[in-house]
Structure 1
Amino acid sequence: MIAQRTLLASAVVSALASLSHVALAQTASTAPDADNTATTTLPAVVVTATPFGNDENSQILAPATVLRGDELRNKLGNSLGDTLSHELGVSASAFGAGASRPIIRGMEGPRVKILQNGMSILDASSLSNDHAVGGEASTARQVEILRGPASLLYGSGAIGGVVNIVNDRIPTQLVDKPTGEAEVRYGTVDRTKNTSLSINGAAGDIGLHIDGNLRDADDYKIPGHADANDSNSASGRLPNSFARTNSLGVGASYIQSWGHIGASVGVNDDRYGIPTEERSYITLKQTRIDLDGLIKEPFGGAFESLRFKIGNTDYKHTEHEEDGTPATDFKNDAIESRWELTHKPIAGWRGTFGIQTENSKFSALAADGSGPETVPVTKSDSIAGFLVEERDFGPFKLTGGARIESVKRKPQDDALVDRDFTLGSYSLGGLWTFTPGYALGLTGSVAQRAPAIEELYSNGPHESTATFDIGDNNLRKETSHNIELSLQKTAGLIRWKANIYENRVKNYIYGRTTGTVDEDGIADPGGEFTERFWSQGDATIRGAEAEISYNLDGPGLSLRGFTDTSRGRLDNMGNLPLQPVTRVGGEIGYRQGPWRSGLSVVHADSQDNLARFETFATPSYTQVDANLSYTQKASSSMPITWFAILKNLTNDDIRLSTSVLSDVAPLPGRNLIVGVRTNF
């Protein structure tokens, strides 16, 4: 049997290497809490995007939050950023309803990596806030947020963190009968009609999966005027804030006792408006093909598993003028591979090491073939090796990780300079369980990021953001030095955690805006584009987070409170742009029999710590949300849940400091969402 596995592993490696260019785990027990009161230990949730599949409360290098089940469904928005915006340390870019990306600890864009089943989305959302994320949370089993140093395992650029959408598109387990989830919902604020479906099945040794989502939302209602400084601006509904999304994914895998090998295909088709005076809109199409394989004990007794993943993405979106004329075509053809070997314990150390490659061809060109190139056709190649090791020393757990990466940028324009970067990143962390259920953690890391293609080579108009972007061929790599201290209680009905961190970034890259220009980049006081230069400076981001909860997953009363704050500054040059504000929030819930209810309140301070070129200080706001659901036992295998969710109950005028459009595009007003879902 070992010989068969070895031959199979060798065949898979040799066959697939040429294609790449270079559980919810639950335990329940009754244990005494710190006050010697018997309490139920709540279920542990496996974080799939960590090397050892640890639960969310035992992470050192990757402090984790996992949204799943009813909690995820109640927080679902029209975008990934909206869905995650009230999680600890997470805010959103909020560029209308169609495009909103997570911002983690004040870090945005390419510093936050978006994954799907552990692989990069490979869209264009990291380029600009108006670009939608090419992944869908409505069909996900869970969404994982990794904040902190270990996110470097998925890319040296992931200084801020990682978000992983887990949809089980490639099955890893066989099911006895078809299982899945279906949901239909309607929202009043934008007349949203949303239908989602996810089904798992099996045919012999073949696991099967299909998922899909249809969303159609009109322009959404706002409490006051669109422009905070203009009482004559639009009111009632925010013009051009519509969003339409279609997605479909199918997958299959061959599953045996030795592991699995499978493939999937996913398609996204989006159309959404940009709520600015230009009234532009974006059409987006993405096709993604993934291969995934796991072989247990591939080379005999030394290794636990060999895992490989290969993803290929064909991405395109077009930015249209109000009358439908195509303005700019963004394209990204990319392939990524990831190869991991997990070895069995050696002198008490458990570890995973591997290689990751990525090859892409990216461009943002005028749709009619004339005018300046927003981003010229550029090829990028990267290859990285990574290692993470973990060992327990009694009550002390030590984890270390390292990554070395080579990145090459090659524009096809001979007038532009090729750039090569060698990146070295590493992290070291310890977790001391000084008494059962309580732990103190300390981590430190150094992470480096190569300038993105648009930061190096942009030189043209960007219709949807109304900016004329100018890159700098001479930008240097970013180097982040991060240290974090955490204290947490992970057992019992009452749990809490607190983190403080400091991140010093050398050569931090940011967009600096100046005056207005015309479509050719010529200075014009009445020009429709704001000139934006990609610039560098040393920066420091400091912050703190705290969260306490009571009985979050159990019946009866549940409580949660949280607060987070961060402040980013460019050394000797003022504040970083688009920084999140200090927030304080609380939730109360009650579960009894078929009924489930909840109420949440989040207060955000005003933001007047502006960058030198920012002009709008966002006011404070308080957002109140509520939910109520009833689960009807229609049959033993197919319960039906009827639900109602009320967002922004007080109809507050909410403007996010992390949004480029904060002065002209508030968030939606009061929204009643009603729907029904079933699990089978």
Structure 2
Amino acid sequence: MPPSSHAFKHAALASALALALIPTARAQDAQHAQHDHEPKDLAAVEVRATPLADTAETLATPVEVLAGSKLDEAKAGTLGETVAKLPGVQSSNFGPGVGRPIIRGLDGARVQVLSDGLSSGDVSTVSVDHAVTIEPFLANQIEVLKGPATLLYGSGAIGGAVNVVDGRIPDALPDAPLEGRAELRGGSVNDERTGMFRLDGYAGPFAFHFDALHREAGDYSIPGFAESAAHLAEESETPDPADAGILGNSAVRTDSAALGVSWIGARGFIGASYSLYNTAYGIPGGHDHSHEEADHDHGDEEDDHDHEGEEEHHEEGDVRIVMDQRRSELRGGIDDLGPFESLRVKFANTDYTHTEFEGADVGTVFQNHSREARVELVHAPVAGWKGAFGLQASDRDFVAVGDEAFVPGSVSRDTGLFWIGQRAFGSLQLDLGLRHDRNRVDVDQTATASPDRDFKTTSFSAGLGWKVNDALHFNLGLDRAQRAPTAEELYSSGLHVATGGFEFGNAALGVETAERIELGMHLHRGPVEAQLSVWHARYDDFVYLADTDLEVEGFPARVWRQDNARFSGMEARVDWQISEGDSGLWTLGAFADTVRGKLADAPGTTLVEVDVPHGDHFHHEDAQVATGGNLPRIAPSRVGSELRWERDGWRASIGAVRYLKQDDVAAFEDATPGYTLVDAHVAWHIDTASGREWEVFVDGSNLSSREARPHTSFLKDVVPLPGRNVVLGVRLFF
């Protein structure tokens, strides 16, 4: 879909009108407000993902925080891209509309994506071409918990969690009766046009929040051809020179808005919000269904009226997703409850649907209705222990109808009870936690003969922090975390077009168990700050999608199975303030990370039996599966550096990240060449006498326009990352 300058002008006009209506009487209050764009010591920012008031520096769990100007510089069109430069974190890639965080080599159903402590309510774990329904441009701060976060968020966070704090339900009065921010930006690589507006304020005891965003971007430019040289050679193809330079079907359109209102009292608050998220994006790489039956008439009429015009600009066979989510939330809290310091209650009800168009036809419709409730009760210190109890319950009603309905409908219910606590022993701090969950999956028996499943999981954690002195801290973490398999892993049966293969679930899968040990160090002495983490995890009954030697209807067959696995990795970061004087503040930063994931057994093969569809019937076939060796699509090692400069209202940076060649590959998987991405940022910030603050910025990415293909992507051989991109924009804080 080509970008619409008309729609962008409407967004800009709406923002300007809203700014014009701001009463000038509040200008004096604004001069005292603390805006969230101001530079922050990120290690001292309070982490909201835990019910205990902790900072990134004092938490035993390894955590990264993005806030203030660092978040402004990192914000991208997807959540995965936004956090992808943090040590130990990368992004999946399925075109510009999809980017999910990968934490220490783990993604999908092992990484929980949260909206201020509650699940996002989307189906991004069902398929790699499904987007996360959280808009990073509207975030106050983003927290990445590295390592198991199962104690706080259950089975789906065994690999970590990403918590996006957006403040849509205020829990305290803002600093001024009316404050906010607006941003307009345009990008060169895809003619991106983005407009964002946010407003926070209060009247008496009532606080309110409003935000809105509109983004349109066309097909993006690439340095060469969409297909890699290796892919072209394998297919014996000679590319048409006219196809170079543009990645077709990569356009994106996104709209998001929310309204929240709270009553703030002396000892607590209660509030509600309603939000919507709508996006339409292409799936580049061309996975049309021309090999299948052409009759897609079922469902066309029921959805065409909702998405009229979405498909009219796209060629026959192009696959595009139109996604819509509506979400209602209630939150409340009370402080000073005798033996308890605070009570927090959260509830979200989410209705989600997305339709996959194949040209002008409706291919598949996914619907997901989810509800989640969470209660956190922080108790007063008992025998020196401060801590919190928590109860979390959720259910998900999932239905898929159409060509890509490779997963039958199901209802999933999860209930978990946990306690976390910490106690100081002189210079030592001990953190403990325990959680027990019950997970049940009821599958649509008209679609499969597989049984319903019921799982019980138990996780515990211990962390020891040693504050040697004010400059040097050490952390030791020990975890035992468990994960119940998802409905996708249990019951998949059919063509998964996004990954280009037939997937066969295993209804007999059991609980996955991970045991992790991690040693961390944090040094902050004089102008130097350094962090180092080394970790190792043993997985018993690790669930993964294994390739086989079998083909079904010309597509490779893949089976979900369990084997023991081992993961290990390292993350390091150093920031050095080179000088501070008349020329400004100069800082040099560097980071490196690596992860290795492999099966515990020696490389070999085994036979598995799969039920292959044949018309209206199934027949058994044997497939050979590789056992042992490396796990597929593990993120490559990286090294990066950045030089930053700040003076008065100016700040600038230039940096580069080298993604090393990934040749520790699994069976049936190809190695991926390394590449280097260079970026730069310049911003000028000015305060006005009226109390408003303006910021003009220029951001550049992939400035050397290198061909880059992420190893973590199923589409790496047909969908490269964008070429050189220059973004020009303006921000207003008031």
Alignment of structure 1 residues 317-336 onto 2, 5 Å: 317-321=354-358, 323-336=359-372
Q: Which residue of 2 aligns with 1:599?
A: 654
Q: Which residue of 1 aligns with 2:719?
A: 665
- Shift of residue 516 of structure 1? 7.5
Partner of 1:110: helix, strand, or coil? helix
Q: Which residue of 2 aligns with 1:70?
A: 69
Mark the CA change 1:492 to 1:331 in structure 2 (over 3 Å): closer, same or farther.
farther
The structure 2 residue matched to 1:361, chosen from 397, 400, 406, is 397
Alignment of structure 1 residues 200-215 onto 2, 5 Å: 200-215=200-215
Query: CA–CA distance in 2 between the matches of 1:389 and 1:63?
Result: 16
In structure 2, what residue type is equivalent to 1:77?
A
Partner of 2:286: helix, strand, or coil? coil
- Shift of residue 43 of structure 1? 7.5
- Shift of residue 530 of structure 1? 3.7
Alignment of structure 1 residues 356-435 onto 2, 5 Å: 356-366=392-402, 373-413=405-445, 415-435=449-469
- Answer whether contact 2:489 2:560 (CA < 8 A) is retained: yes
- What are the superposed Cα offsets for residues 211-266 of structure 1, whole Å, 9 maximum, x if unpaired? 11111111111111111132516421111111111111110111011110111111
Does residue 568 of structure 1 match 2:597?
A: yes
Q: Which residue of 1 aligns with 2:219?
A: 219
- Shift of residue 471 of structure 1? 1.1
Query: CA–CA distance in 1 between the matches of 2:68 and 2:181?
Result: 10
Q: Which residue of 1 aligns with 2:541?
A: 507
Mark the CA change 1:552 to 1:463 in structure 2 (over 3 Å): closer, same or farther.
farther
Query: CA–CA distance in 1 between the matches of 2:648 and 2:78?
Result: 32
The structure 2 residue matched to 1:627, chosen from 666, 681, 685, is 681
The structure 2 residue matched to 1:309, chosen from 339, 346, 360, is 346
Query: CA–CA distance in 1 between the matches of 2:406 and 2:42?
Result: 51
The structure 2 residue matched to 1:292, chosen from 309, 314, 331, is 331
Query: CA–CA distance in 1 between the matches of 2:41 and 2:133?
Result: 37
- Shift of residue 151 of structure 1? 4.8
Partner of 2:499: helix, strand, or coil? coil
- Shift of residue 380 of structure 1? 1.0
Mark the CA change 1:41 to 1:129 in structure 2 (over 3 Å): closer, same or farther.
closer
> How many residues align structurally?
629
- Answer whether contact 2:42 2:66 (CA < 8 A) is retained: no
Q: Which residue of 2 aligns with 1:240?
A: 249
Partner of 1:152: helix, strand, or coil? helix
- Shift of residue 404 of structure 1? 0.2
Q: Which residue of 1 aligns with 2:178?
A: 178
Query: CA–CA distance in 1 between the matches of 2:249 and 2:691?
Result: 43
- Answer whether contact 2:579 2:586 (CA < 8 A) is retained: no
- Shift of residue 49 of structure 1? 0.8
- What are the superposed Cα offsets for residues 316-351 of structure 1, whole Å, 9 maximum, x if unpaired? 112221x12111111111101111110011121100
- Answer whether contact 2:42 2:65 (CA < 8 A) is retained: no
Query: CA–CA distance in 2 between the matches of 1:71 and 1:422?
Result: 40
- Shift of residue 150 of structure 1? 4.1
- Answer whether contact 2:546 2:561 (CA < 8 A) is retained: yes
- Shift of residue 41 of structure 1? 8.3
Q: Percent identity?
A: 39
- Shift of residue 652 of structure 1? 0.8
Q: Which residue of 2 aligns with 1:81?
A: 80
Partner of 2:439: helix, strand, or coil? strand
Query: CA–CA distance in 1 between the matches of 2:586 and 2:680?
Result: 15
Query: CA–CA distance in 2 between the matches of 1:536 and 1:288?
Result: 35
The structure 1 residue matched to 2:271, chosen from 231, 248, 262, is 262
Does residue 639 of structure 1 match 2:693?
A: yes
- Answer whether contact 1:151 1:159 (CA < 8 A) is retained: yes
Q: Which residue of 2 aligns with 1:6?
A: none
Q: Which residue of 2 aligns with 1:283?
A: 322
Mark the CA change 1:25 to 1:245 in structure 2 (over 3 Å): closer, same or farther.
closer
Partner of 1:73: helix, strand, or coil? helix
Q: Which residue of 1 aligns with 2:707?
A: 653
The structure 1 residue matched to 2:260, chosen from 251, 256, 260, is 251
Mark the CA change 1:333 to 1:47 in structure 2 (over 3 Å): closer, same or farther.
same
- Shift of residue 465 of structure 1? 3.2
- Shift of residue 376 of structure 1? 1.3
Give the TM-score normalised by structure 2.
0.83
Query: CA–CA distance in 2 between the matches of 1:219 and 1:649?
Result: 18
Q: Which residue of 2 aligns with 1:545?
A: 571
Mark the CA change 1:610 to 1:248 in structure 2 (over 3 Å): closer, same or farther.
same
Give the TM-score normalised by structure 1.
0.89
Partner of 1:237: helix, strand, or coil? coil
- Shift of residue 513 of structure 1? 3.1
Partner of 2:122: helix, strand, or coil? coil
Query: CA–CA distance in 2 between the matches of 1:181 and 1:110?
Result: 34
Unaligned runs of 5+ in 2: 1-32, 233-237, 288-317, 602-627
The structure 2 residue matched to 1:585, chosen from 637, 640, 645, is 640
Q: Which residue of 1 aligns with 2:309?
A: none
Query: CA–CA distance in 1 between the matches of 2:272 and 2:227?
Result: 47
- Shift of residue 479 of structure 1? 0.5
Alignment of structure 1 residues 153-168 onto 2, 5 Å: 153-168=152-167
- Answer whether contact 1:57 1:490 (CA < 8 A) is retained: no
Q: CA RMSD in A?
A: 2.1
Partner of 2:450: helix, strand, or coil? coil
Mark the CA change 1:485 to 1:43 in structure 2 (over 3 Å): closer, same or farther.
closer
- What are the superposed Cα offsets for residues 575-620 of structure 1, whole Å, 9 maximum, x if unpaired? 1111011111011111101111001111111011111121x32111
- What are the superposed Cα offsets for residues 369-388 of structure 1, whole Å, 9 maximum, x if unpaired? xx684211111111110000
In structure 1, what residue type is equivalent to 2:676?
T
- Answer whether contact 1:56 1:66 (CA < 8 A) is retained: yes
Unaligned runs of 5+ in 1: 1-22, 27-39, 518-522
